Structure 1
């Protein structure tokens, strides 16, 4: 299991410190960028993400919950280990956005909100590095997990059937009670917000999540 804690549930007054406390136990930093239009919440943008990248030497997993991803992608300082994901629901034609991410040498991800079927990304699946399956409605941390297990399994079957190297990331309401099922359905990367940053002992929470995943 690859683990990508979401800083949406962290203390924004000490983001750097909170990430550094767990950096050796995680695989990515998940950054939820929201514009107040595509989703009702407003978080942070390129200046905050880029400042963190200067300090934290880990791959960044940037989740764009914004109405016009192509207009902002070029403002992020990214490298070949970083992921930029945009919502398929936010664009009419995803290919120019994919090209913009490739121009930054970053990995390309596309996110699917809970009601959006796998068929929405079928024409571009071969062009992706990752599919982010949302298990909550995008916009806020702390929501309860929506059962997207059949969706994950369907996507995994399609990836295997077509012989693709596309990872599946799942985000929303994930904790020690459900990550085993999510991984069994086919997930490769787990995003956890409150399950990590909402705990008093974050390192212990991560160790316990990994123990559950490997049990």
Structure 2
């Protein structure tokens, strides 16, 4: 098992991740071991995972951009919006299913839709896909989580900025990830909301107190100016759009974000 001593002996975050990456990712991706992982790495730099958010990719050359970034990222983030739960319309099931066949990287699907349970049958996703649905979008939370697990996906619950994170506390033992929205969901390119940091701190404190194994993801306004701070506060998974795709050189931007 990896320890703080091993990680601290390496000179920087990029080296730490590449040196111990395969072993650490094996532990990190296994929800049964993740609780021990959190205990071992208290006080250490958190291993981050970056998922370029394809909402900001060039859709006319989407497959080429996926292949371009594959060697440098941990997976890809896909926003599904229905123009009801949020005022925007993006990828449908057919597009998402096609994208899932274009990469071997992990997918992180974020449903900003009414009745997210309906998507459990229409999406054809690889095992261990992160499946985020919104706390505010359904009253059938336990039923959706059950369906997600039956599909061999990782259940993730997302919250809007105005939702108090404490509302999630009764269900956190059932999920693999909490997704904190750090902008109002619906559009890429918005500014980071500082209130998301308070939500992150509150969530991580509760996780540590109860010794729960979920990880924390963040989406919205993530950039080189805040990713290190958010990592230090306990966030691990980052969906990033504009700070990668709007920077001229997406590969260089992704490398900078990794540190």
Same fold (TM over 0.5): yes
Q: Secondary structure at the match of 1:85?
A: strand
* Paired residues, number: 211
Shift of 1:79: 3.0
In structure 2, how many angstroms separate the alpha carbons of the residues matched to 1:120 and 1:18? 38
Question: Do the aligned partners of 1:170 and 1:190 also contact (CA within 8 Å) in 2?
Answer: yes
Shift of 1:81: 2.2
Question: Do the aligned partners of 2:156 and 2:175 also contact (CA within 8 Å) in 1?
Answer: yes
In structure 1, how many angstroms separate the alpha carbons of the residues matched to 2:156 and 2:250? 27
Task: Show the counterpart of 1:45.
Answer: 92
In structure 2, how many angstroms separate the alpha carbons of the residues matched to 1:45 and 1:177? 32
Structure 2 residue 162 is the aligned partner of structure 1 residue 137: no
Q: Secondary structure at the match of 1:138?
A: coil
In structure 1, how many angstroms separate the alpha carbons of the residues matched to 2:140 and 2:94? 27
In structure 2, how many angstroms separate the alpha carbons of the residues matched to 1:75 and 1:103? 14
Q: Gaps spanning 5+ residues in structure 2: where?
A: 1-47
Match of 1:167 among 200, 210, 215: 215
Task: Show the counterpart of 1:157.
Answer: 205
Q: Which has the higher helix share?
A: 2
In structure 2, how many angstroms separate the alpha carbons of the residues matched to 1:183 and 1:24? 22
Match of 1:118 among 161, 165, 170: 165
Question: Do the aligned partners of 2:100 and 2:126 also contact (CA within 8 Å) in 1?
Answer: no
Show CA shifts across 1:109-157 (max 9, x none): 0001001111221111000000000000000000000011111011011
Match of 1:11 among 53, 58, 64: 58
Task: Show the counterpart of 1:199.
Answer: 247
Question: Do the aligned partners of 1:34 and 1:139 also contact (CA within 8 Å) in 2?
Answer: yes
Deviates more, 1:6-15 or 1:61-70: 6-15
In structure 2, how many angstroms separate the alpha carbons of the residues matched to 1:136 and 1:127? 25
Q: Gaps spanning 5+ residues in structure 1: where?
A: none
Question: Do the aligned partners of 1:126 and 1:164 also contact (CA within 8 Å) in 2?
Answer: yes
Deviates more, 1:170-179 or 1:75-84: 75-84
Return structure 1 stretches of 4+ with deviation > 3 angstroms.
none
TM-score normalised to structure 1 length: 0.96
Match of 1:76 among 113, 123, 135: 123
Show CA shifts across 1:4-32 (max 9, x none): 11001111111111111010111120000
Deviates more, 1:73-82 or 1:44-53: 73-82
Structure 2 residue 195 is the aligned partner of structure 1 residue 177: no
Shift of 1:78: 2.2
In structure 2, how many angstroms separate the alpha carbons of the residues matched to 1:74 and 1:198? 34
In structure 2, how many angstroms separate the alpha carbons of the residues matched to 1:53 and 1:187? 25
Match of 2:70 among 23, 26, 33: 23
Question: Do the aligned partners of 1:67 and 1:90 also contact (CA within 8 Å) in 2?
Answer: yes
TM-score normalised to structure 2 length: 0.80
